[in-house]
Structure 1
Amino acid sequence: MSDKIYFNTSAKFNLRRSLINVGTRIHHRVAPNHARQIARQLLLTPVRSKPNNPQPPAMVKGIVKSAHGDLTTYTLGTGPLWVLNHGWSGTANQFFPLMEFMAQSGFTALAYDQPAHGSSGGAYGHIPAFVEGLDAILDSVDEVAGIIAHSMGTASTIECKHIKAMNCPLLLIAPVLEYLDNLFSSVKRSGYSMKLFEEVVEEVSAQYHYPIATIDPYAKLKARSTPTLIVHDEDDRFTPFVVSKRISEESPKVTLVATTGLGHGRIMKSDPVKEGFLSLSKCKSNCTL
C-alpha cells in the first residue's frame, strides 16, 4: 500500500482517491487511536521487493546489528570500500550489477538492506530508521572511501551525522533533496488524510527524537565540503530533475550528470552511474569533477 501512496504521481481526479480521503478522515474522527495504528502500518511499511538481479558467486552475505533489527549486508570485491544505500521499498539487490563493476575496477562494494526492507529485520521504514541503519553499517567498518545512494537513501545519507558519512564523497542517484516537500506532496496526492498523516509523523519524530522540521537534505548538501556527483534522469517521474539541476548550479562541490530515458530505477545500473563512480573515486576532497 505504501508504494501506491509514495509513488503515485498522478494529479488527476479519481474516485478511489476521493474515497480514501473520506474514509481516512472519518476513521480518524471516530476512532483516532486505531486510525493512527492503521496509518503507521500503511504509511511506514515498505514493500519487500523481490530480487531481480542474480547474486554474484563471490559475494559475501553478513549481518550487522542495529536498533531496528539485524541488517543483511552484501560485500563484493577488494580495495577501498564504498557503501551503497538503497531507497524506499528498494533492496541491496538493485545495486548488484553496479557492485560487480566496482569489484572489477578494484574496489570493495558493501550494500545492505535497510530496516524493514529486503532480508533485514524491522517492521517500519522511515528517515530515522534509515539514518540509524546507515550509522550501524558505518560503525561496522574501519574506513569508507565513499557512499553511493539512491532515491530516499540519498536523503538519509545526507542527513547522517556519522563522521565517516560527513567526510567522504557522495554519488547520488535520482536523489530526494527536497524530502519534506516530496513526502507531503505524495501523501496529499494519494487522498490520505493529511491530519492523520501529520499525527503519525509527529509520533515518529517524538519517538526517535528527530524533529521533522530539521530534515533538509538540500541545505545540508549545499553545506558539504566534499565532492558530490549526482546522476539523474531528466524524465524521472518520482524525484524532480530540476532540483538536482538547481543545486548543481548553486554549489561548486556538486556536479550533475543528466541522462534521458532511464527513469528512476533503471538508472542504477547504467553506464553514466558506472562512469560517474570511476570519476568520483579518483577525486580528492578538494578536486573539481
Structure 2
Amino acid sequence: MSAVDTSTRTTPTPATAPRTSTAGATRRRLAARARLAYVRGRLRVLGVVAPRRAGAEAFTLWCTLPGGTGRRKDVRPHAGELVELAAPRGGRVVAESWGSGPVVYLVHGWGGWRGQLGAFVAPLVDAGYRVVAFDAPGHGDSDPSVLGPRRGTLVEVMEALEVVGAHFGDSAAVVAHSMGTTAASKVLSAGPLRTERLVLIAPNHDFAEILADFDRMLRLSPRVQGLLRGALEDFVGHALSDFDLAPLGADGQLPQTLVVHDRRDKETPFAVGHRVAESWPTATLVATDGLGHQRILRDEATIDLIVRDIAARPSTLRPSSLSPSTLSPSA
C-alpha cells in the first residue's frame, strides 16, 4: 500500500439552523427513539416466546433500506440513455449511460441510487469514457427486491452489476461507494466482469462488525443473534466472512485500486479504508478531511483526482489521453 493525502485542512463552519428546523429535527429524533424502543421490546418478547419469529423479523429489519436525503440526491448533469435489464431473481434493473469510449461503471451503496454518483458523469465523459450507472433491485428506479419494497440485499447488488456488465462489457474502471465497494470487489474477484482499475470510496466494515453493531442496537438475545446469522448465510449461500473486503484483495489478484476515505466519515470510519488499503498490495490510500460519507461523492477536487488517476493508467482499451496523475505522497 502507498498513501497520499489530498485533504484540505479546514474545518467546515456550522450554519445556524432556524429554530423551526431544530424543533423538527428534535421531533424526528424522539420519534425514531420511540420506534427503536418499540422494536427492541417486541423482539425481546418474541425472543422468549417465539425465537424463530424474532429471528425472521430481525432478518427483515436487516434487509430494510435506510432513508436519508443524502442517499437520494440527484447530481446527474442531464438524463442519459436508459436501458432496462432482467434481474436474475425477477424484475428490472435500470441502467443509464452517457458518452462513448471505454466503460466506467458507477456502483452505489446501501440505500443509494445511480443519481448519487452523478457528479462523476461529466468529468469522465470529457475524459473520453462511457459512463454506466445502475440501480440495484429495491433501489432507485429498479424494481423491488425479491424480499419486497423498501428491502435490499448485497447479493442483488452484485447480481445487478453482473447483468449490467454482461450488457456493456468489460471496463476501464469501476468506481464504487460504501457497500457497493464490497459488491464490486466480490464480482471482480469471482471473474464475471473484468476491469483495469478499481476505485473504492468509503468502503464498508467487515460484516461481523456490522452484524455486531446491529445486534447491539436491537439488543438481540444470543439465540436470536444466531438465528439471524443463520438466515443471512442461508440466503447468500456463503459465510458472512466471505464478503469481508480486506481478504478479497489480499492475494494481489484484483486490479490496481484507489481507496478514497474521509477522516471524519461517521458511517464507515477512516480506519476501515486504511485497513483495506493495508491488506491489498495493489491499493493506494487517499485521505480527505471534512467531506464525510456522502459529500465526498460531490467534491470537485476528489472527483478530479479520481478521474485523473483512472485516465493516467495505461489502458488496453484505448491510449490514455490525460497527463500523468499529480498525486503526491503524504507525510
TM band (smaller chain): 0.7 to 0.9
Alpha-carbon distance in 2 for matches of 1:228, 1:21: 41
Q: Is the CA contact 2:252–2:281 (under 8 Å) kept in the aligned structure 1?
A: no
Change (3 A) 1:111 1:31: same
Q: Is the CA contact 2:186–2:243 (under 8 Å) kept in the aligned structure 1?
A: yes
Kindly tell me the number of residue pairs found equivalent between the two proteins: 275
* 2:59 pairs with 1:59: no
Q: Which of residues 248, 257, 276 is equivalent to 2:277?
A: 248
Change (3 A) 1:248 1:41: closer
Alpha-carbon distance in 2 for matches of 1:36, 1:258: 39
* 2:46 pairs with 1:24: no
CA RMSD in angstroms comes to: 2.8
- Aligned twin of 1:139: 166
- Aligned twin of 1:11: none
1:193-232 mapped onto 2 (5 Å cutoff): 193=220, 195-225=223-253, 226-232=255-261
Alpha-carbon distance in 2 for matches of 1:266, 1:216: 25
- Aligned twin of 1:180: 207
In the TM superposition, residue 162 of structure 1 has moved relative to its aligned partner by 4.4
Alpha-carbon distance in 1 for matches of 2:61, 2:278: 38
Alpha-carbon distance in 2 for matches of 1:103, 1:275: 15
Alpha-carbon distance in 1 for matches of 2:241, 2:275: 22
In the TM superposition, residue 77 of structure 1 has moved relative to its aligned partner by 1.3
The superposition leaves residues 260-284 of structure 1 with CA deviations (integer Å, 9 ceiling, x where unpaired) of 1100001012221331232123214
The aligned amino acid for 1:179 is D
Change (3 A) 1:185 1:99: farther
The superposition leaves residues 117-156 of structure 1 with CA deviations (integer Å, 9 ceiling, x where unpaired) of 1111223322222222222121122231111100000011
- Aligned twin of 1:8: none
Q: Is the CA contact 2:52–2:227 (under 8 Å) kept in the aligned structure 1?
A: no
1:58-207 mapped onto 2 (5 Å cutoff): 58-68=79-89, 69-121=91-143, 122=145, 123=148, 124-160=151-187, 161-163=189-191, 165=193, 167-176=195-204, 178-193=205-220, 195-207=223-235
Q: Is the CA contact 2:112–2:139 (under 8 Å) kept in the aligned structure 1?
A: yes
1:140 counterpart SS class: helix
Q: Which segment drifts farther, 76-85 or 185-194?
A: 185-194
1:30-49 mapped onto 2 (5 Å cutoff): 30-47=49-66
Structure 2: gaps spanning 5 or more residues? 1-32, 316-323
Which structure exhibits the higher relative contact order, with contacts defined as CA atoms closer than 8 Å and separated by 6 or more residues?
A: 2
Specify the structure having the higher radius of gyration (Cα): 2
The percentage of aligned residue pairs carrying the same residue is 26
Change (3 A) 1:72 1:260: same
In the TM superposition, residue 97 of structure 1 has moved relative to its aligned partner by 1.4
Q: Is the CA contact 1:146–1:170 (under 8 Å) kept in the aligned structure 2?
A: yes
Alpha-carbon distance in 1 for matches of 2:270, 2:67: 26
1:159 counterpart SS class: helix
Q: Which of residues 265, 268, 277 is equivalent to 1:236?
A: 265
Change (3 A) 1:207 1:261: closer
Alpha-carbon distance in 2 for matches of 1:74, 1:82: 12
Q: Is the CA contact 2:197–2:256 (under 8 Å) kept in the aligned structure 1?
A: yes
The aligned amino acid for 1:70 is R
Alpha-carbon distance in 2 for matches of 1:153, 1:76: 20
1:250-265 mapped onto 2 (5 Å cutoff): 250-265=279-294
Structure 1: gaps spanning 5 or more residues? 1-13
